[in-house]
């Protein structure tokens, strides 16, 4: 029987829309509810306990909307809070780290993989471990991992500066060490980075495969729903809802480039800090 409940997706703000758009591409018939925690963003420079608390609160909100699955569409929240959410959620939880790692292992030919993300994501070492675990699982030896935090990419993406001289100079500064290390695969381990893919590609050169973790996660969402018999089938027009913890107008004004299309009007406002959670 068709499961017409929506897929719940959350992020620290607008970046997760790059994940949502990938979900829409592979599952156009599914209803979705997106929550952007804009009033408490960014998560990328917060502590572990804060990120876990915020993520648990966001999970509670999505559960109150009777979602059939929760997608952590934020690399930072995935890196810190996935284990906790997976244990506590009443529905399956999908994160973006392992799918990104799997995609990197599939793509690399020379075994040299770069990972770029927020300070919080990189400092957990979760991505590095995920890539190493995937390599081991597939019997691939001699993997070398090079990591780099690129905090300014988030501001550039939000400012709409993803294809100008400032973006190019910033990318050059951040990425030159990875290029010099001879990587052939680069994991964009932050929701905002796919917007800068053109400039990142220019700096790194054609030989590099860029891994979009949102795309990789969307494929996992599709597989899980299909294998579990939980797709919505031909249930008619899907409903696409949006909520933000900050001003809806503000959210709507910056969302379009991240989503790749205009938002349906009527973004709701909701703050999840009202939920009491234990870490």
Residues with catalytic annotation? 74, 190
Output the smallest distance, CB 234 to ligand DGL, in A: 33
CB of 40 within 8 A of CB of 244?
A: no
CB of 34 within 8 A of CB of 241?
A: yes
Q: Which residues contact 45 (CB under 8 A, 6 or more apart)?
A: 118, 119, 120, 151
CB of 213 within 8 A of CB of 99?
A: yes
Residues numbered 238 to 277 that lie near ligand DGL (CB under 6 A) are none
Is residue 6 involved in binding ligand DGL (CB under 6 A)?
no
The stretch near ligand DGL (CB under 6 A) out of 55-63, 163-171, 186-194, 265-273 is 186-194
Taking the C-alpha atoms of residue 94 and residue 105, their distance in angstroms, rounded to an integer, is 19
Is residue 192 involved in binding ligand DGL (CB under 6 A)?
yes
Nearer to ligand DGL, 140 or 220 (CB): 220
Is residue 102 involved in binding ligand DGL (CB under 6 A)?
no
Q: Using CB atoms within 10 A of its CB, is residue 23 exposed (0-12), middle (13-18) or buried (19+)? A: buried
Exactly one of 191, 212, 231, 245 binds ligand DGL (CB under 6 A); which one?
A: 191
Is residue 118 involved in binding ligand DGL (CB under 6 A)?
yes
Residues forming contacts to ligand DGL in the complex (CB under 6 A) are 11-13, 15, 41-44, 74-76, 118, 121, 154, 190-192
């Amino acid at each position: 029987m068709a499961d017409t409940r929506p897929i719940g997706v959350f992020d620290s703000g607008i970046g997760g829309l790059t994940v949502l758009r990938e979900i829409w591409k592979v599952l156009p018939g599914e209803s979705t509810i997106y929550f952007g925690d804009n009033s408490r963003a960014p998560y990328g420079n917060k502590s572990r306990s804060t990120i876990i608390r915020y993520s648990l609160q966001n999970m509670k909100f999505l559960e109150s909307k009777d979602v059939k699955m929760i997608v952590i569409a934020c690399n930072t929240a995935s890196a810190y809070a996935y284990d906790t959410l997976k244990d506590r959620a009443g529905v399956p939880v999908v994160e973006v780290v392992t799918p990104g790692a799997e995609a990197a292992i599939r793509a690399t030919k020379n075994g040299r993989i770069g990972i770029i993300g927020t300070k919080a994501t990189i400092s957990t070492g979760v991505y590095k471990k995920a890539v190493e675990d995937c390599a081991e699982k597939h019997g691939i030896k001699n993997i070398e991992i090079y990591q780099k935090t690129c905090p300014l990419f988030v501001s550039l993406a939000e400012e709409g500066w993803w294809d100008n001289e400032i973006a190019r100079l910033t990318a050059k500064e951040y990425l030159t060490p990875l290029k010099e290390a001879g990587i052939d695969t680069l994991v964009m381990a932050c929701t905002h980075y796919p917007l800068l893919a053109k400039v990142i590609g220019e700096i790194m050169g054609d030989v590099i495969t860029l891994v979009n973790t949102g795309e990789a996660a969307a494929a996992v969402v599709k597989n899980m729903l299909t294998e579990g018999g939980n797709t919505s089938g031909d249930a008619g027009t899907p409903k696409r809802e949006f909520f933000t913890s900050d001003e809806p107008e503000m959210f709507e004004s910056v969302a379009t480039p991240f989503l790749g299309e205009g938002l349906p009007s009527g973004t709701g406002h909701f703050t999840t800090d009202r939920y009491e959670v234990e870490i």
